[in-house]
Amino acid sequence: MIKSIGSLKNFGIFSNHSNSGAKDFGRLNLFYGWNGSGKSTLSSLFRSIENRSLVNKFPEAEFSIEVDDGVPINQNNINTTNLNVYTFNAEFIEENISWNSLVKSILLVDKEKIDERKKLEELKKNQEADIGAYEKENVAIGQLTDTVSKFGTASAKRMKTSLQAIDTTDNYYLNYNKTKFQQCISNNVDQTKNDSSLLNERDIVELTNVAKPNKKSLITVNIQTINNETFSKAHARLSDLLVTSVVSQSIKRLISNDDIKSWVETGLELHKKHDSSTCEFCGSEILQNRIAALEGHFNDEYKSFKSRLQSAVDWLAKQYLQDIPLPLVTELYDEFKVEYQEACSKLSSSVTAVNEEIQLWQKTLEKKVANPLDTNLSVEVISESSSVAFTAASTAIKTVIDKHNHKSQNFQEETAKAKKTLEVHFATAEVKEFGYHEKQLDITNRTEKNKELNQIVATRRNEIQAIEDSLSNEGVGAEKFNESLHKFLGRSELTLKFNQVQKGYEIIRNDSHKVNGRLSEGEKTAIAFVYFITKLKENDNRLEDTIVVVDDPVSSFDSNHLFHSYSFLRSNCDKAKQLFVLTHNFTYFKLIRDWFEGVNRNRRRKIPPKDPAALFYTIEATTAIPRQSTFKDSDQSLINYNSEYHYIFSRLFKYKDSQALSRDDAFLTANLARKLLESFFSFKFPKHRNDIAQLMSCGLNGCVNTDEAVKEKIYRFINKYSHSVVIEVNEDSSENLVGESQNVIGDIFTWIEEVDGIHFNEMVSIVS
């Protein structure tokens, strides 16, 4: 059931209602309010619950309706409510009845088709459960989809920041958004599902450098290489020289002492050159046999071999690897600098290693030169690892230079590729942390299942409709309606007749003529109200499960039907799950009030006593502009007294002794005062009931305390502030009203007491 209307804002005259002055609703609820106070507006709120949609004329309305299942109904979730509400008001009449043509059909269920009815009930039960499940799952899917959407927005924002740090000139990344992020995921589904596209910190730094928009020039470099075959042949030749000797008349002393050999060899050449016959060192005569012995040692073959050795020395000296000029590391792109420096370092190391091995060859060869007759010398082959390292380092340098040049020649393509790789990396990181693919799969699977459930609901809806069509009978609807209408009106001249072609009822008078709008207001109200009550039973609707709202089923034009309307409502809606009745007619209010109070009395007599099932409220509007309405618990006088006169007397009597009146209360007293005096004097002087001035003049007869001046003050007060046709421009007007109200109210009650003291005392006794 509906517990309360906790708040109601921007809903017509209910601009800011709160439930502070009203108890929670009961099973039976009666609202009393004068015309224009907001009854119809309040009934529109109930009808919006019935239709599960907002009222179009109040697009900015906000409300909170408490229900007993704990989930408040508001403007955002009203379409999900499952309350079974039927509302009778002007909107219902307008939607269902055209006084110039048709009344919509009523589908009452044929009671004889028991098996089909049972099947229909089971189908409806299942349908309600499935619709609830579908709507609940639809909301859950929507929430999950919203979460994924928000993730896309947040991720795109984070990626935009990261990608802009790389390149602030690329408009694609400067304007990166959720659409581009989702497109990236769609284009790289497989990569974003695994770790293959995730980069380590070093890769990120390298690609960030690659992506920078700083283009560099091409680099040219000549790379030296080692011909291993040349070194291999050189090793063979050198080894051959080292083990080669010459035929000579060897002098042991010279063979054993390279330094003496070299000294003697040089000395022999000098003596020949200077044609010396004595030793230039000691001055002794050089014997010819000694000269012959030395020349035998240093013969022509020896000299030729030594010349070969010297040539080998000269050639070997030219085989040292030289440092070649390489590009500065600053000339390369940042991402290649580390690799380039490493390759240069390895090249330098390999050059040193190769040169050291060449130097070993040279030293060995120098020993051979010093002593050509020594055959015990040998050298190792130049290490393959050294030459391989040199070649690898040279190749690495060339590779880095080639990559640098490739990037320069394809700069836009390469930077774009790097940025795209980084984009996929960042997207994958976001996707994996959020579980994007898992959630998307969940949304897809759940959406598909919910579509299947919706299809089941749609198919079952057709099945339900088919069974309802077979069980429903518009003729039965017309029969039940006519029976009720004739009882309501007390005559049978108006009937409904079903039109098969137009699928609605025609209103017929005296079984012959369509009325075509020619109906009294009383007849219209009767037809509309009886039609509503009959519709309550449509399609086997259970009244015990229905919240019924009735807004003024009587009007000032059909007071003859007050009791018909009351009895018809009571006999048909007494068992409603919850009933709300709103009226401006005090007589009708009393009829409904006495019915409801009877229910409360029976509950109070229970042992133990039960809380009241019926509650009473008044709808009140301020007189200030713009007017605002609220509803609150009704004054006890409205429940206890049997006329509107009692109620007005009670309200005004309370104002008489108030210490201070608010501006709203002061305006209200003027209206109440006029109505009270009109009612009192109309009863006392019925011949002048249509002229308030004449009534008040008659009321002065025999009065002492109330004279012409007092009467004139009262008359001007109620005319000025109650029925004035002049717009006040005096800024002191409302202040005058507040100041005058209590004095005038006192004068009014003094006058009533003076005219009819017995009546006055009786009324004071009642209201006190």
> Per-residue confidence at 287, pLDDT binned at 50, 70, 90?
low
- Given 634, 655, 690, which residue is the final one in a domain? 634
Strand 578-583 versus strand 28-32 pairing type: parallel
Burial code (b: 16+ CB inside 10 Å, e: under 16) for 141-166 equals: beebeeebeebbeebbeebbebbeeb
- Given 634, 663, 680, which residue is the final one in a domain? 634
Residues 566, 627 within the same domain:
yes
- In contact, 66 and 1? CB cutoff 8 Å: no
C-alpha distance from residue 452 to each of 52, 133, 235, 423 (Å): 24, 12, 86, 38
Average pLDDT of the residues in 154-170: 77
Hey, is 357 helix, strand or coil?
helix
- In contact, 696 and 681? CB cutoff 8 Å: yes
DSSP output for 539-565: GG--GGG-EEEEE-S--TT-GGGHHHH
> Per-residue confidence at 252, pLDDT binned at 50, 70, 90?
low
In a domain, 500, yes or no: no
Residues 649, 630 within the same domain:
no
Between 113 and 762, the more confident residue is: 762
For residue 459, give the H/E element and its range: helix 436-471
Residues 616, 667 within the same domain:
no
User: Residue 632: what pLDDT?
Assistant: 92
> Per-residue confidence at 254, pLDDT binned at 50, 70, 90?
low
In a domain, 339, yes or no: no
Query: Residues 310-339: pLDDT tens digits?
Result: 888 888 888 777 777 788 888 787 778 888
Residues 675, 761 within the same domain:
yes
C-alpha distance from residue 477 to each of 106, 271, 473 (Å): 5, 156, 6
User: Residue 548: what pLDDT?
Assistant: 96
Total residue length of the chain: 768
- pLDDT of 173 strictly over 50: yes
- pLDDT of 126 strictly over 90: yes
**How far is the C-alpha of 628 from the C-alpha of 10, rounded, in Å?**
10
Residue 669's domain comprises 642-767
721's tokens: 């502030």
Average pLDDT of the residues in 624-651: 81
Residues 90, 46 within the same domain:
yes
- Given 634, 667, 687, which residue is the final one in a domain? 634
In a domain, 312, yes or no: no
User: Residue 731: what pLDDT?
Assistant: 40
User: Residue 280: what pLDDT?
Assistant: 67
In a domain, 77, yes or no: yes
> Per-residue confidence at 7, pLDDT binned at 50, 70, 90?
very high
- pLDDT of 87 strictly over 80: yes
- pLDDT of 355 strictly over 70: yes
Query: Residues 542-595: pLDDT tens digits?
Result: 999 999 999 988 865 455 678 888 888 999 999 999 999 999 888 889 899 999
User: Residue 579: what pLDDT?
Assistant: 97
- In contact, 749 and 760? CB cutoff 8 Å: yes
In a domain, 534, yes or no: yes
**How far is the C-alpha of 401 from the C-alpha of 388, rounded, in Å?**
20
- pLDDT of 737 strictly over 60: no
User: Cα 297 from chain centroid?
Assistant: 108
Average pLDDT of the residues in 261-273: 71
Query: Residues 465-490: pLDDT tens digits?
Result: 888 777 656 666 778 888 888 888 77
Residue type, 577: K
Residue type, 390: F
Number of domains present in the structure of the chain: 2
Residue 88 main-chain phi, psi, to 5 deg: -100, 115
In a domain, 44, yes or no: yes
Between 452 and 725, the more confident residue is: 452
DSSP output for 706-733: S-HHHHHHHHHHHHHHHS--S----TTH
User: Cα 404 from chain centroid?
Assistant: 48
**Which CATH number covers residue 541?**
3.40.50
What residues contact 413, with CB distance under 8 A and at least 6 apart? none
- pLDDT of 34 strictly over 60: yes
Helix 114-164 × helix 178-187 angle, to 10°: 100
